[in-house]
Amino acid sequence: MGVNLESRRIRRLQQQQPVSGWSRTSGSSRVDHPVRIHTLGRFAVQVYSHPMGLSLARQQRPLDLLKALIALGGREVHAELLSQALWPDTDGDAAQNAFDVTLHRLRRLFDIKDLFILRDRRLTLNSNLAWVDAWAFERLVNHSERLLHLVGDPMIGRQVARCSERLLNLYQGAFLEREASNAWTLTLRERLRSKLLRHMQDAGLCWEQDGNWERAIRFYRKGLEVDPLTEELYQRLIIAYRATGRRAEAIRTFHRCRLILADQFQIAPSQQTLELFHSLKD
C-alpha cells in the first residue's frame, strides 16, 4: 500500500513535468535529472525535485536494492552479486525470486521508464535519468586530480578551486554512513573517503605553492575532520599557520596532534612533527 501511494504521488509529479523530464534546461548546461539520489552522509531521494518519503517499512527492501546497486557501481551489476549482498543466507531460486520481486517493487516505487535497465541479468541505474552524489563526487575528484598535475597556469588554479569547493559541498559525510554496516558499502565508502583525503592534501599543497595559505588551512582542517589521525595533515597545518604568523594556532595544532596520537596509538609525534614544533620556538 505504501509503495502504491508513493508511486501515485510520483506519477502526479511526472504529469506536471515536461515529457522528456531530463532534457537540458534552457540557458544551462546542467542536465536536469528527474531522480537525484544523495548517499554521502545521508540517504535521500528526490523525484522531480520533490523529496521521496523513505520511512515506510515496505519500501526498505526495494531501497536497499537501490543502495546496493549504487554501492556496487550502478552499471551492469549482476543480479547474483546483488542477491548475495541483500540475501546472503538465501541461495539459488529463492534468491533469484527475491531479487525479481524486489526489483519489480523498486520499479513500481519510481515508476519512471528505463530508470532501471535489466539486461542479461545485469542491472543498471540509468545515469541519464538519475544523478547520484557519490558518482558526481568521484567524477569530479578524478577530474581534479588531472587538473592538479597542470597547476601553475592561473586558469587551471581557478578550475581546481571551483572543483574543490564543489567536492566539499558534495561530501557531506561518508557513503551511506548512517546505514547499518554492510560489507557491500565498504569499498565505495573507503574509496571516496580516501580520494577526498588525498585531494585535501594535494590541493592544500597546491594552494601553499600558490601562496594561498588561508585556503590551504581550510583544506587541511577539513581533511582532519574526515580523519583526525592523519599526522601529515597536522604537519601541513602547522606549516601553514607558521607561514601566516599564527604561532599560537600552530602550537595548539601540534598539541592536538600529540594528544590524539597518544590517545589512539600510544605513540609520540614523528621526528618530522617534533622538528616543526621546535621550529616554532625560534
Does position 268 interact with another protein (CB under 8 A)? The reply is no
Which span sits near another protein by CB under 8 A: 10-18, 132-140, 201-209, 255-263?
255-263
The DSSP call for residue 159 is H
Rounded to whole angstroms, how far apart are CA atoms 117 and 7? 18
Q: Which residue, 147 or 174, has its beta carbon nearer to another protein?
A: 174
Among 266, 271, 281, 282, binds another protein (CB under 8 A): 266
How far, in Å, CA of 40 to CA of 113, rounded? 26
Asked if 270 touches another protein (CB under 8 A), the answer is: yes
* 91 part of the interface to another protein, by CB under 8 A: no
| Phi-psi domain of 120 (left: phi exceeds 0; alpha: psi -120 through 50; beta: other) | left
**Phi-psi region at 245: left, alpha or beta (left = phi > 0; alpha = psi -120 to 50):** left
260 touching another protein, by CB under 8 A: yes
Helix axes 183-210 and 60-71, enclosed angle (nearest 10) = 50
Question: Would you count residue 256 as binding another protein (CB under 8 A)?
Answer: yes
**Cβ closest to another protein, residue 96 vs residue 230:** 230
Question: Which residues lie below 8 Å from residue 184, measured CB to CB, with a gap of 6+?
Answer: 68, 71, 72, 85
What number of residues does the chain have? 282
Residue 263 is a binding residue for another protein (CB under 8 A): yes
The CA distance from 260 to 228, in Å, is 8
What is the chain's alpha carbon radius of gyration, rounded to the nearest angstrom? 23
**Nearest distance, CB of residue 228 and another protein, angstroms:** 6
Which of the stretches 28-36, 133-141, 204-212, 224-232 binds another protein when contact is defined by CB under 8 A? 224-232
- CB 182, min distance to another protein, A: 8
Q: Does 229 bind another protein (CB under 8 A)?
A: yes
Residue span binding another protein (CB under 8 A) among the ranges 15-23, 69-77, 210-218, 227-235: 227-235
Give least dist CB 166 to another protein, A: 27
Q: Is 274 in the site for another protein (CB under 8 A)?
A: no
Contact (Cβ atoms closer than 8 angstroms) between residue 106 and residue 65: yes
Do 36 and 91 touch, CB atoms closer than 8 A? no
Interaction between residue 181 and another protein (CB under 8 A)? yes
Number of residues that bind another protein (CB under 8 A): 19
Give residues in contact with another protein (CB under 8 A). 88, 181, 183, 186, 190, 228-231, 255-256, 259-260, 263-267, 270
